[in-house]
Copies of this chain bind each other. A is one copy, B any other.
Amino acid sequence: MFATTPPAPYYAVIFTSLRTDNNDGYGDAATRMVELAAGQPGFLGVESARGVDGLGITVSYWASEEAIAHWKRDAEHTLARERGRKDWYAAYETRVAKVERAYSFRKADAA
């Protein structure tokens, strides 16, 4: 669901992907990576969606560039990335961006 992020500035890693049809171990690894990321210093939250056309977008939010670099070096995450390139992803784009401003809307009569 929505990530609860602090006032800008902070960082976003936009990960856009197309999967292969190899699902072996993917679901467990995806769950584990979210769990592992959430325990990293500077992790702020994550939002994820995969559409019927197969395109997936996962945006993780981080307090700093250092937090992103630290997460990238994590040993278990590095192994998962290697497995991802070998088995799970046909293609992906990773974009690192600095969030400069943000706006929220909540419908008045929404729960």
Contact = CB atoms under 8 A, between A and B. Distances in A.
A47 B57 contact: yes
Interface residues on A, range: 35 or more
Interface stretch (A24-32, A35-43, A100-108): A100-108
A87 to B, nearest CB: 10
A89 B102 contact: no
A34 interface: no
Question: What is the copy number of this chain in the assembly?
Answer: 2
Interface of A: 1-3, 5, 8, 12, 14, 16, 18, 20, 47-51, 53, 55-57, 59, 85, 89-107, 110
B102 A95 contact: yes
Contacts of A107: 20, 85, 89-91
